[in-house]
């Protein structure tokens, strides 16, 4: 920016509303002039490779682009773009003469109400996080999907972004970037990409690569009394904005962990996945959070390695780079933990068939409640198999689940994954399973099987006629289970994976799931 123009924009009489004072803030890409109650943002003529604002035409285009894209999230915050003109004597807003720059005009917001400031002040509430989750689910649900042939958000695109991070961090390895940590993050990230290449293609084909925010962190979210404002999305590079919705969400998840607010994440994840259909999303959160932490490590490494930056700021960036990379390592290594998987649902919905198919594809050990019941209660004189009768009475069910949970602790303690195949229709049983996963520090997933009722009836009648299945459940039991059912709580939405078995076993879904639990 011309220095004369900068001085002019610092003068209150430059603005039609004559603010009492003007304050300037500079970022690496913009001059921001705060002239209450408005803010005027002018792009710098810079080229960083991933963005190029070196010509007036480019600055004009991207300023209008910024207005358009951010109006999706906060239309009340973003107002208009005004030309800055020069008439040969002076600079003006929307005056006569040559257009020399363009200013994005915004309403000023209260900086003390950003999510980061509320966290620092200890005033952020769980209710605010839950409202934000619903807002983000709505935004992602309405965002434009990217056509697969464009290539953005594909496996190759994501891999390129990840490899670029490691290449750009490499010059700092051995200095303040620990070689072992860098290698572990790189190996874990690229290994995840290799194992789950088909899932990235699946996400692309099914519309989860969308026109997102791209820079969704706590400083870009404002909680006003009656509104949530989200601002400053990436307008300058489609590669960073046309991404998986989970990459967008994971930035915020990662930041909350980094800011020691990980207890907030269930309040973000459960409402989000209750409002949007995306069962695969939760399985990708840690991967994309690792990616985001690696990006932050890289950005701070650049600052730490810049000799023009003051020494104190460089030292702070060195420490932050190390901390972010350590977080990235912890996040990607979560996938190496054993899994506790539940295949659950009403009788006849295919949960045992799903468990067997998962075992065939992944090798995961399966423990079935029907088998445990027959072994545990084989000498039980009460042979009735009616609803809440005989070996299916509540106290007998409790014995079966207790034996299954004992086995789960044993197997998980040996660092092996386990699938528990049972109805899990009682909340106390689901709560116990969640508690075991937390106690043993393992990954947890509940595969919820459902099936068309007419198909369930046919399957159960066929099973009863053949008499070859360990289960004694018939269609009458199915109907009574359905009548008594009160929902899958306390298992949160982000840990439930629905599987429809009406048309048989969903082969592709189970193959993709198997690549996680194997």
- The kind and range of the H/E element at 101 are strand 98-107
**pTM given for the model:** 0.91
DSSP string, 132-198: HHHHHHHHHHHSPBPPGGG-TTSHHHHHHHHHHHHHHHGGGBTTTB-HHHHHHHHHHHHHHHHHTHH
pLDDT (tens digit per residue) in 491-511: 999 999 999 999 999 999 999
Domain ranges of the chain: 3-108, 113-336, 339-517
> By C-alpha distance, which of 432, 430, 408 is closest to 420?
408
Tell me what percent of the residues of the chain surpass a pLDDT of 90: 81
pLDDT over threshold 50, residue 449: yes
pLDDT over threshold 90, residue 310: no
Cβ contacts of 275-279, under 8 Å, gap ≥ 24 = 275/133, 275/134, 275/137, 275/138, 275/141, 276/137, 276/140, 276/141, 278/208, 278/245, 278/246, 279/496, 279/497, 279/498
Pairing of strands 418-421, 339-344: parallel
pLDDT at 389: 58
Q: 113-336 sits in which CATH class?
A: alpha beta
Ramachandran angles phi, psi of 196, nearest 5°:
-115, 30
Torsion from C-alpha of 295, 297, 299, 305, nearest 10 degrees: -150
Q: 339-517 sits in which CATH class?
A: alpha beta
> By C-alpha distance, which of 450, 456, 436 is closest to 497?
450
Tokens of 411: 């197997």
pLDDT over threshold 70, residue 468: no
User: What DSSP state is assigned to residue 469?
Assistant: S
Cis amide linkage into residue 115, ω under 30° from 0: no
Ramachandran angles phi, psi of 379, nearest 5°:
-100, 10
pLDDT over threshold 80, residue 301: yes
Q: How confident is the model at residue 368 (pLDDT cuts 50, 70, 90)?
A: very high
Q: Report the chain's mean pLDDT, rounded to a whole number.
A: 93
pLDDT (tens digit per residue) in 207-232: 999 999 999 999 999 999 889 999 99
**How many C-beta neighbours within 10 Å does residue 506 have?**
16
Average pLDDT over residues 8-35: 93
Residue owning tokens 């007036």 = 56
**R_g (Cα) of the chain, nearest Å:** 28
pLDDT (tens digit per residue) in 392-408: 677 878 899 999 999 99
Average pLDDT over residues 7-25: 95
Asked if 346 and 478 count as a contact pair (C-beta separation under 8 A), the reply is yes
> By C-alpha distance, which of 453, 455, 448, 447 is closest to 503?
455
pLDDT at 417: 98
- The kind and range of the H/E element at 43 are strand 38-43
pLDDT at 381: 47
């Amino acid at each position: 920016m011309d220095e004369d123009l900068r001085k002019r924009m610092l003068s209150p009489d430059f603005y039609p509303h004559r603010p009492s004072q003007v304050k300037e803030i500079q970022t690496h890409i913009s001059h921001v002039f705060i002239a209450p109650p408005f803010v005027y943002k002018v792009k710098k003529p810079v080229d960083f490779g991933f963005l190029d604002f070196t010509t007036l035409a480019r600055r004009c285009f991207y300023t209008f682009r910024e207005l358009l894209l951010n109006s999706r999230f906060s239309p009340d915050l973003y107002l208009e773009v005004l030309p800055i003109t020069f008439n040969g004597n002076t600079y003006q807003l929307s005056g006569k003469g040559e257009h020399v720059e363009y200013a994005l005009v915004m309403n000023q917001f209260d900086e003390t109400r950003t999510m980061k400031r509320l966290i620092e002040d200890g005033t952020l509430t769980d209710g605010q996080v839950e409202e934000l989750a619903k807002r983000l689910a709505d935004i992602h649900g309405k965002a434009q999907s990217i056509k697969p042939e464009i290539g953005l958000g594909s496996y190759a695109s994501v891999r390129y972004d990840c490899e670029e991070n490691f290449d750009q961090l490499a010059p700092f390895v051995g200095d303040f970037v620990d070689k072992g940590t860098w290698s572990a993050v790189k190996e874990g990230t690229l290994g995840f990409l290799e194992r789950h290449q088909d899932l990235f293609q699946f996400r692309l084909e099914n519309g989860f690569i969308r026109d997102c925010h791209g820079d969704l962190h706590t400083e870009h979210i404002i909680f006003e009394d009656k509104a949530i404002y989200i601002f400053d999305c990436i307008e300058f590079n489609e590669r960073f904005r046309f991404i998986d919705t989970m990459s967008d969400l994971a930035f915020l998840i990662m930041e909350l962990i980094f800011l020691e607010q990980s207890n907030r994440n269930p309040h973000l994840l459960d409402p989000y996945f209750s409002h949007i259909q995306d069962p695969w999303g939760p399985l990708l959160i840690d991967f994309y959070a690792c990616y985001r932490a690696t990006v932050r490590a890289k950005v701070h490494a650049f600052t730490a390695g810049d000799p023009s930056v003051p020494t104190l700021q460089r030292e702070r960036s060195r420490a932050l780079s190390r901390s972010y990379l350590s977080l990235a390592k912890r996040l990607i290594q979560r996938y190496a933990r054993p899994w506790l998987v539940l295949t659950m649902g009403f009788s006849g919905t295919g949960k045992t068939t799903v468990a067997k198919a998962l075992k065939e594809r992944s090798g995961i050990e399966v423990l079935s409640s029907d088998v445990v019941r027959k072994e545990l209660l084989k000498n039980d004189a009460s042979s009735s198999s009616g609803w809440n009768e005989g070996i299916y009475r509540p106290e007998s069910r409790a014995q079966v689940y207790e034996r299954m949970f004992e086995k789960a602790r044993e197997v998980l303690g040996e660092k092996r994954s386990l699938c528990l195949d049972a109805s899990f229709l009682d909340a106390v049983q689901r709560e116990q399973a969640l508690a075991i996963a937390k106690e043993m520090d393992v990954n947890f997933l509940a595969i919820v099987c459902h099936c068309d009722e007419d198909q369930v009836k046919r399957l159960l009648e066929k099973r009863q006629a053949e008499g070859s299945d360990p289960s004694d459940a018939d269609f009458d039991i199915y109907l009574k289970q359905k009548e008594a059912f009160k929902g899958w709580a306390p298992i949160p939405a982000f840990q439930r994976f629905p599987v429809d078995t009406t048309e048989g076993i969903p082969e592709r879904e189970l193959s993709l799931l198997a690549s996680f639990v194997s």
